[in-house]
Amino acid sequence: MIRKADFRPTALQWLRPLGWSLAALILAMPLLAMQFEDRLQLGVNWSLSDFAVAAFLLGGTGAALEVAVRLSGNLAFRATAVLGIGAALAMVWVNLAVGLVGAESNGANLWFMFVPVAGLVAAAIGRFEARGMVRAMLAMAVAQVIAGVLAGGGMQAVSVTLVWGACWLVSAWLFKRAC
């Protein structure tokens, strides 16, 4: 006999639509702001390619979070994956929007784009398991320092390296605890 309690939605079933709705809302915000640009001078003027890149970033982030949740039932693993993936999205988004060092057109900002790539490669080599993710986060911390040095080593690069490097190190420590 099937009871009513068997049909209660799990937390994941509530979070998935909420997360994807949030991604759609984030993508819709600049579109809405552009409707009022003439009167309010908000400085929002996105092109079709800006929307395409943002949709790719948000979709990729959502897909990565979906995979992370399915990889492990361990809450520490899931929370740490959210931290790492979220920090990577924030770093790439800020870098594309305004640049981490100087303006977004500063060529030194390209070095910081290799950090998430290094992490993704290291995570794939580690088969996205907790032990492999520890190594991936440490690889990202090292790549962050290298990018900061190659970007010129000024105070802005040092600040960026410290902030995001701390995210990668905290993620590595938390993944270690999830092992």
| Per-residue pLDDT at 120 exceeds 60 | yes
> What pTM was computed for the model?
0.83
- Rounded distance between C-alpha atoms, residue 126 and residue 133, angstroms: 7
Q: Cβ–Cβ contacts within 10 Å for residue 155, how many?
A: 9
What does the pLDDT read at residue 1?
46
Query: What whole-number distance in Å separates Cα of residue 31 and Cα of residue 45?
Result: 9
Identity (one letter) of the amino acid at 121? V
Name the amino acid, one letter, at 57: L
Chain segment 134-148, per-residue pLDDT in tens: 999 999 999 999 999
Per-residue pLDDT, averaged over 38-57, amounts to: 86
Provide the pLDDT for residue 38: 73
- 6's tokens: 């068997």
The domain spans of the chain are 74-178
- Does residue 7 register a pLDDT over 70? no
